[in-house]
Amino acid sequence: GQVEGGLCELVGPGDALDGGNAFRTFVRCFRRVIARYTAEDVQAMHGAAIWRLVHSEDRSLVQNHFRDRIEGRASSVRYQFRIVRKDGGIRWVEVSGSITRVGDRMMNQSIYRDITQQKQAEEEQEKLRAQLLQAQKMESVGRLAGGVAHDFNNMLSVILGMVEIIEERLEPDTP
């Protein structure tokens, strides 16, 4: 998959989760190739609108990791989430990042890797695994049914044999 990264100066936590400058610096690291947004597109997003770049189901995950990093609770992270491209397409990305001090400034180094193909392959593998499990269940049911039918046939053969013996012992005019 495609890889993007960058070194961005961290700003204070006060303005981070409302879509302020801090998150924009992170967005700058993956916006061009993976998300297909221009710098102007990102700059035009005001306030919390910048979070539209993160899939709605993954927003809290990303916000929590982001908050932990800029508030100093995590010096490095690695996690996966979905982004929404400018054209509306969904892509999976994996972010690896660390916080480092350069002189008196705190810097964030992040690498974003497009893992969409890997995720699609995992989904396909899971579908195949489910199909195999279903086939194994059907095979087990088939074997069980075959065993029951065989046992039933054996019992039926005994019953039919006994009926023949009884018929032989009966008088010809017995109803």
Q: Is the pTM of this model over 0.85?
A: no
DSSP label at residue 54 = B
Express each pLDDT in 49-61 by its tens digit.
778 888 999 999 9
Express each pLDDT in 69-89 by its tens digit.
777 788 788 999 998 888 889
Q: Give the strands of the sheet with 76-84, arranged side by side.
A: 3-9, 105-114, 90-102, 76-84
Q: How far apart are CA 117 and CA 64, in angstroms?
A: 26
